Amino acid sequence: MMIKTFSPKAKDLTRKWYLLDASEQPLGRLATAAARLLIGKDKPTQSPHFDGGDYVVVINAASLKTQPNKMQRKTYYRHSGFPGGLHKRSLAEQVNLNPSKVIEHAIRGMLPDNKLRDPRLKRLKVYVDENHHHEAQVPIKLDPVKGKK
Query: Which CATH superfamily is 16-67+99-141 part of?
Result: Ribosomal protein L13 (3.90.1180.10)
E-assigned strands of the chain?
17-21, 55-59, 75-79, 86-90, 124-126, 140-141
**Domains of the chain, residue spans:** 16-67+99-141
Identity of the residue numbered 12: D
Residue 48: CB partners within 8 Å, gap ≥ 6? 112
- What confidence score (pLDDT) does residue 2 get? 84
pTM of the full structure: 0.91
The C-alpha atoms of residue 5 and residue 64 are separated, in whole angstroms, by 43
Per-residue pLDDT of 91-104, as tens digits, reads: 999 999 999 999 99
Per-residue pLDDT of 52-87, as tens digits, reads: 999 999 999 999 999 989 999 999 999 999 999 999
- What confidence score (pLDDT) does residue 14 get? 92
Confidence band, pLDDT 50/70/90 cuts, at residue 145: low
Instruction: Please state the rounded mean pLDDT for residues 118-147.
Output: 91
Q: Which of residues 144 and 58 earns the better pLDDT score?
A: 58
